[in-house]
Structure 1
Amino acid sequence: MAGSAGLTLRQRRLGVELRKLRDRAGLTSTAAAQLLGGPQARISNIEAGRYAVSADRVRALARHYSCTDAELVDALADMTGGRSRGWWDEYREYLPSALIDLAELEHYAAGLRVGLTIHIPALLQTTDHARALFREVVPALRQDEIEHRLSFRIRRQKILHEEPHIPYTAIIHEAALRMQFGGAEVSRAQLAHITEVSRLENVSVHVIPFEQGGFPGNGQPFDYVHGAVPQLDTVQLDVHHGCEFLDSEAQLIKYRTVLARMEAIALPEAASRDLIHRISRSI
């Protein structure tokens, strides 16, 4: 999904989904505008996320586009919700826009699943572990940049503890648990923190042990963010230049399959905690 300056990921996604509905209906933007009784530019701006659109207008467009999926229409109408600021907007001046988009995405998610092979999931990291990671960023971050990223990451983690409790599943390869970022003491504290958080009712942690051998996904770390309906799911990839967001049907199917295969070969929750404990004792 291409970015646009000044627009949030949620605004852009609503526009993208409305364009998909129009395309499926076989209508041009000019024809859609005529049905609304306005200029063609209005449809273009709505689909680009530049034009504020009400829930009633979204429902009207869905009717014009002969969309009979009531759950999808309700979910799209809920995405209008004005343009009120979230806590993440306080960081727009200091952090890359993709990180701001990720926090917004998590805030509105119906559920989260992550798959990682080298790093601990961001929502499960301790402050000391995260600080050690940020010190390895290339090019190097200034101290103030590290502190902004730290406070932002810790604020994101509140989503696991606040009401309503969002379902969160982390599938972590044993290799990530053995990486000693920050040294032995920091690593032991990090493993203890994962064990503690994994006991929350809404959190599940599964470990893929070394002896499992091969695993799907080629080691690509990713977050799978569940929307109100499956069509509104999003995949976030960690790449060298930052974050990349995917939302095409083919991409979503691919990563659902990868997650299912990873979870199938991972240890159950209790066995995963036992392995984490053994790793901690060996450090």
Structure 2
Amino acid sequence: MATRSALTARRIRIATELRKLRERVGMTSTEAAKQLGTSSGQLSNVETARFGVSPERVRAMARLYDCPDQAYIAALIDMATDKTLGWWESYREVLPSGLLDLAELEHHATAVRTAYTTHIPGLLQTADHAREIFRHVIPAPTPPEVEHRVSHRIKRQDVIYRANPLPYRTVIHEAALRMQVGGRDVARAQLQHLLVMSERDHISVQVLPFDVGAFPGSGQSINYLQGPVPRLDTAQLDQFHGPVLLDSEAHLEKYRRLLDVVEDTALTPEKSRDLIRSITQDL
């Protein structure tokens, strides 16, 4: 087993999933290591992502832990064998690891759902809008740091432009649409871009108007990234101190249901476009 150089989101996730499988059957790490023909120290290193894990070892662990879900096992093996270094790795020395994790998760996701109250989703932001957002980060970033963040955000958007674009659904509160980030010209260009993107077949944009009042998840920005199987989904929440990743089954079910309710509460994509056009015309 080779030591991994960087604790990426996917490397941490496969380690977490293997630990969950062992804990579900009530087996201690010492018991599991003995039956796997390894030491408890080596197993601990696998379960904390310090060591990588081979496809054969993943299969052996799945058999030992009585996991019958072949699609899930295949997805874990795919994660274990993926040695590709994504474009985001070039930012590892200049950006927080949470931003790199989000880019990695989006790249490998099968679909993404989001809900935003006070921001335009990052995948749908213009460069000028993103630049203005990053200028207000605390502590204040230097101009080069701002540009690193902007270029990273724009590169993330490749997932919705590539040949096999990522299916993307978002709900945006009217408050985010009316904030004049960067002034009228930048705000108008951002809304026009949002309208253009909302017309793409693989993108759905819905708006929560002010008159809906209270709604589930208000005040919380949510990114829900679907994996190859539901057990490998990830919920990502934006916090002041940085992105937070959630992958427990209880959390995933909660945020799936929350997004269902928010989408049902929001305007249809057609009526949402009408509202966005109206706000644009008011600028």
TM-score under structure 2 normalisation? 0.96
Alignment of 1:137-216 (within 5 A): 137-216=137-216
Counterpart for residue 252 of structure 2: 252
Separation in 2 of the partners of 1:259 and 1:26? 33
Separation in 2 of the partners of 1:213 and 1:5? 48
Q: Which sits farther off after the overlay, 120-129 or 74-83? A: 74-83
Counterpart for residue 35 of structure 1: 35
Residues 5 and 57 from structure 1, CA distance in 2 versus in 1: closer, same or farther, beyond 3 angstroms?
closer
Counterpart for residue 227 of structure 1: 227
Runs of 4+ displaced beyond 4 Å: none
Could you tell me which runs of 5 or more consecutive residues in structure 2 were left unpaired when the two chains were aligned: none
- What's the offset of the Cα at 1:184? 0.6
- What's the offset of the Cα at 1:81? 2.1
Structure 2 residue matching 1:267: 3-state secondary structure: coil
Separation in 1 of the partners of 2:105 and 2:270? 30
Separation in 1 of the partners of 2:25 and 2:221? 36
Please tell me whether the aligned partners of residues 117 and 218 of structure 2 are also in contact (alpha carbons under 8 angstroms): no
- What's the offset of the Cα at 1:56? 2.1
Counterpart for residue 118 of structure 1: 118
Separation in 1 of the partners of 2:201 and 2:49? 37
Q: Find out whether 1:102 has 2:106 as its counterpart.
A: no
Structure 2 residue matching 1:273: 3-state secondary structure: helix
Separation in 2 of the partners of 1:161 and 1:11? 26
Please tell me whether the aligned partners of residues 52 and 82 of structure 1 are also in contact (alpha carbons under 8 angstroms): no
Counterpart for residue 92 of structure 2: 92
Separation in 2 of the partners of 1:262 and 1:50? 39
Give the superposed CA RMSD: 1.3
Please tell me whether the aligned partners of residues 246 and 252 of structure 1 are also in contact (alpha carbons under 8 angstroms): yes
Separation in 2 of the partners of 1:164 and 1:56? 31
| Deviation per residue, 1:13-33 (Å, 9 max, x gap) | 101100111111221111211
Structure 1 residue matching 2:80: 3-state secondary structure: coil
Matched AA of 1:147 = E
| Deviation per residue, 1:260-283 (Å, 9 max, x gap) | 111011111111111100000011
Please tell me whether the aligned partners of residues 62 and 73 of structure 2 are also in contact (alpha carbons under 8 angstroms): yes
Matched AA of 1:121 = P
Separation in 1 of the partners of 2:134 and 2:7? 27
- What's the offset of the Cα at 1:44? 0.7
- What's the offset of the Cα at 1:123? 0.4
Counterpart for residue 75 of structure 1: 75
Counterpart for residue 19 of structure 1: 19
- What's the offset of the Cα at 1:239? 0.6
Q: Which sits farther off after the overlay, 85-94 or 130-139? A: 130-139
Percentage identity across paired residues of the two chains: 52
Structure 2 residue matching 1:272: 3-state secondary structure: helix
Separation in 1 of the partners of 2:221 and 2:263? 14
Could you tell me which runs of 5 or more consecutive residues in structure 1 were left unpaired when the two chains were aligned: none
Separation in 1 of the partners of 2:163 and 2:10? 21
Q: Find out whether 1:46 has 2:63 as its counterpart.
A: no
Matched AA of 2:255 = Y
Please tell me whether the aligned partners of residues 235 and 247 of structure 1 are also in contact (alpha carbons under 8 angstroms): yes
| Deviation per residue, 1:222-274 (Å, 9 max, x gap) | 10111111111111111111111111111111111211111011111111111
**Count of aligned pairs:** 280
Separation in 2 of the partners of 1:133 and 1:5? 32
Matched AA of 1:248 = S
| Deviation per residue, 1:15-73 (Å, 9 max, x gap) | 11001111112211112112221111121111111111112221111011111111111
Matched AA of 2:214 = G
Please tell me whether the aligned partners of residues 109 and 227 of structure 1 are also in contact (alpha carbons under 8 angstroms): yes
Please tell me whether the aligned partners of residues 12 and 49 of structure 1 are also in contact (alpha carbons under 8 angstroms): yes
Counterpart for residue 132 of structure 1: 132
Counterpart for residue 65 of structure 1: 65
Matched AA of 1:16 = T
Separation in 2 of the partners of 1:52 and 1:163? 31
Matched AA of 1:37 = G
Counterpart for residue 56 of structure 2: 56
